[in-house]
Amino acid sequence: MRQIGPALAAFANTKGGLLVLGVDDQTRAIVGVREDPETVSERLTGFLQSGLSFACSARLGKLESGAGWLHWVEVAHQRGFEPLKYGGRVYVRRGRASVEPTPSELQELLNIFGYIVTEEQAVSASGVDDIEPNAFARYVATLGIDLGADLELPIAADLRIRGALLERAGQLNATLYGLLAFGKNPQGHAQTGSFWIECVAYDGTDRADPVLHVAEARGRIDEQVDRALGWFRASGRSELHDGADRVDRTPVPVSTLREALVNAVCHRDYAMTGSRILLEVFADRVVVTNPGTLPNHMSRESVMAGGPALAQRTTGQLHAGPALHGRPRPRLAPHAARHAPTQRQRTRPARGPRQPLGAGDLVALAQRPICKSVVPPTDPATRP
């Protein structure tokens, strides 16, 4: 059955096809199948049900010839949440051969099936050394897993199990998810160079107003959220005085903004390179924009109405754990779409100094408020 697995998966993923057992591949002569025909039919039926990544729809038949029995499997083109796999690998038909698709072919195939797994693809020129073991250990510890309990299992095996590493052409490469969740330098690769949060504060209610401050929240996805929130606390606060007491107030509750940022880093379209998540603080509002649209046939209305329940793991489920480990989790719907329902806006380059955020920068920013006017907080408990 190992010989027919790739062919069945390839037929199902391409345009369907007919697989005939008992014919020589080279001479096309009938050689027949010597085994008991009922046993072969049962084995084929069982393989179609459980031998592939999910059950494959097909018609079976058999015919007795002078050289032995002929069996055929007619496979229809499959449409599901993802391509059919054999042995964890995707196959397509190319001529008379069943082969693995190229990276571009695989991405196109995944797009057609409506299951985009950009975050699970390997990043070229990356490896196990690009993963920070301590960051990975902290995350799995929140799941109740002690990596030190099994000394026989190398760290690379744990990273592969969790989807942070992927074997490709005999080499272990970090996945996009692995770099963003546990990488030492997540933005240090061409594919990941734009995956960070740009923070902009305006002196007014419009993007045409003067820019007060621009900063970059880089690092792993949890660090991006923390650094963007630190910048927000410093640049978007106002002060209230009650005698000698001072109360700092932000335009919106920090917990609310954290949830918006976590959703942005989890649900942005990571297939769109060159675009960044944008956190904008205006005098009357705070706006978070993430690149991407709803996948394929989905609409904003269908999402608001509940949308189809996706059985597969979504980007949000993939990234939310590392982004939120050790913190209260926002209410992420298990059937959430792979991309948040946002509308991309064309922005002009922001003016003002640009610099990565660090701990010292956040302390310095906290000593001087930036926004001149802010919206009263929406949380009644924090209103003066």
Q: What is the pLDDT of residues 213-251, one digit of tens each?
A: 999 999 999 999 999 999 998 876 666 667 777 777 777
Q: Could you tell me which residue, 370 or 315, shows the higher pLDDT?
A: 315
Question: Model confidence over 263-319: pLDDT tens digits?
Answer: 999 888 887 888 899 999 998 899 999 887 766 556 677 777 765 544 334 455 556
Architecture, CATH, for domain 197-382: 2-Layer Sandwich (3.30)
DSSP summary character for residue 175: B
Residue 82 pLDDT: 78
Give the homologous superfamily in CATH for domain 5-115: Schlafen, AAA domain (3.30.950.30)
CA atoms of 322 and 305, how far apart (whole Å): 29
- For residues 136 and 96, which has the higher predicted lDDT (pLDDT)? 136
Domains 5-115 and 197-382 fall in the same CATH topology: no
What pLDDT does residue 345 have?
A: 32
**CA–CA dist 351, 200 (Å, integer):** 9
In the numeric block, which tokens belong to residue 239?
């002060």
Domain boundaries, the chain: 5-115, 120-182, 197-382
Give the predicted TM-score (pTM) of the model: 0.54
Residue 199: Cβ within 10 Å count: 26
- The one-letter amino acid code at 65 reads S
Give which of 165, 104, 107, 105 is closest to 133, Cα–Cα: 165
Does the pLDDT of residue 34 top 70, yes or no? yes
Position 198 scores a pLDDT of 96
pLDDT, one tens digit per residue, over 133-168 is 999 989 888 888 776 665 556 888 889 888 899 987
Q: Which residues of 67-85 are buried (b: 16+ CB within 10 A; e: fewer)?
A: ebbbbbbebeebebebbbb
